[in-house]
Amino acid sequence: MKNICIIGAGGTGCTMAADMVLKGHEVTLYADPAWQGALEEVRAAGGIRMIGQAATGFAPISRLENDLERAVRGADVILVALMATRHEELAETLAPLLSEGQTVCFSAGNCGSVVLRRAGKVCSGVLIGEMQGNVYPCRFSGPAEVRCAFPYMEKKAAAFPGRDTPAFIEAMREAYACTPARNVMEACFNSPNLSIHLAGSLLNTGGIERDPAFRMYAQGLTPGVLACIREVEREKAPVMERMGFANAVHAGMIEKLMRYGEFPELDDFRQVSGPSSMRHRYITEDASVGQSLFLSLAHSLGMTLPCMESLVLLAGVINGENYLRDGMTLASLGLDGLSAGEINERLHNGFPGA
């Protein structure tokens, strides 16, 4: 049994909390002011009910915290379930609170482990890493109730620095079994979010803006959307090859999902809600973090990705932002001006002097 702290009380954080309790772990669920309403619903219910295709049942959550220092004190594993756009803000606060022997895991990672290491002096003996993609597709289905579309399926994960990956995976084993990725950037760029979210959302802008209850996987998958996702993946492949990264392809799952009369085992996933607006994380998070970082890497290698760049540009036009200019880049992570080999070396060994 592990003492697990979960940072974030949105759908993913509450699903993590319920899943970990149902698997026998001690859990502290932390929420900042933005999610106090969700925390109060859990407090009123005495816990979280989990339904769907993963673990099911009522999970009593005895420790609910709005003080981060108290929340992480004594935790063996700290699971971060916040949007990547909030990782930098969290890192500044979290870094000085960590203690030797603790493990921090970001899900989905989006190089949050690098952001945390760069935020300040982290106590020696702390393992920091991240998973490939989100831990599972899930949403609130009612007050203090979550629905999980799939059970947890073993994911690739890596630590930063990468030399810590074997120890990180062992420390995570009781919570979430993982297999090693080459480094955190390989894990980040193999998330299905990078291929699917922005293309699927932008090509459904009209439907999303008309209907806040829009469900992309039930209403928005068409041959044109699939073609755009395939083109994003076609552009992505040579960049991954240049970096020496394994390259996961996700368009096949989209093709199965859009065959709506078939594969009933995917129906819970088809009913996952969102995007509810063009400010939904499917657009803002992926344009400003995942896609912008990938484009920064491609440009540093002298490669152009017109489809992906167009998607990020259009997302910015719709939202009045400049994600290409202001989003995450190699410079944001202290990796600018490096060759592919030097980036991999830095991701494996960490920053000089750290």
- Give the model confidence (pLDDT) of 191-241 as tens digits: 999 999 999 999 999 999 999 999 999 999 999 999 999 999 999 999 999
Residues 251-281 pLDDT 10s: 999 999 999 889 999 999 999 999 999 999 9
Phi first, then psi: what are they for 157, rounded to 5°?
Answer: -150, 160
List the domain boundaries for the chain: 3-189, 192-349
Up-side HSE of residue 314: CA atoms within 13 Å toward CB? 16
3-state class (DSSP) for residue 52: strand
Cis upstream peptide for 181 (omega within 30°): no
CB 82, CB 93: distance < 8 Å: no
* Among 48, 49, 112, 46, CA closest to 79: 112
Q: Does domain 3-189 have CATH number 3.40.50.720?
A: yes
3-state class (DSSP) for residue 181: coil
Residue 334: C-alpha distances to residues 40, 114, 115, 303, 346 (Å): 39, 9, 9, 20, 10
Going across the sheet that includes 63-65, the strands are: 63-65, 26-30, 3-7, 77-80, 103-106, 127-131, 155-159, 178-180
* Among 60, 58, 68, 57, CA closest to 5: 68
pLDDT of residue 102: 98
Cis upstream peptide for 275 (omega within 30°): yes
* Among 2, 1, 19, CA closest to 103: 2
Q: How far is CA 342 from the centre of its chain?
A: 25
CB 273, CB 294: distance < 8 Å: no
The token duo for 154 is: 């073993």
Would the pLDDT of 84 be above 70? yes
User: Model confidence at 124, in pLDDT bands (50, 70, 90)?
Assistant: confident
pLDDT of residue 158: 98
- Which amino acid appears at position 44 of this protein? A
Give first-to-last CA distance, the chain, whole Å. Answer: 32
Cis upstream peptide for 161 (omega within 30°): yes
User: Model confidence at 121, in pLDDT bands (50, 70, 90)?
Assistant: confident
Rounded average pLDDT over 86-93: 95
| Alpha carbons 350 and 219: distance in angstroms, whole number | 44
Q: Cβ–Cβ contacts within 10 Å for residue 321, how many?
A: 18
Residue 212: C-alpha distances to residues 147, 209, 305 (Å): 19, 7, 31
Phi-psi region of 221 (alpha: psi -120 to 50; beta: other; left: phi over 0): beta
Would the pLDDT of 354 be above 80? no
Phi first, then psi: what are they for 202, rounded to 5°?
Answer: -65, -35
* Among 286, 346, 351, 342, CA closest to 316: 286
Rounded average pLDDT over 46-73: 95
* CATH class of the region 192-349: mainly alpha
* Among 17, 219, 278, 36, CA closest to 138: 17
**Average pLDDT over all residues of the chain:** 95
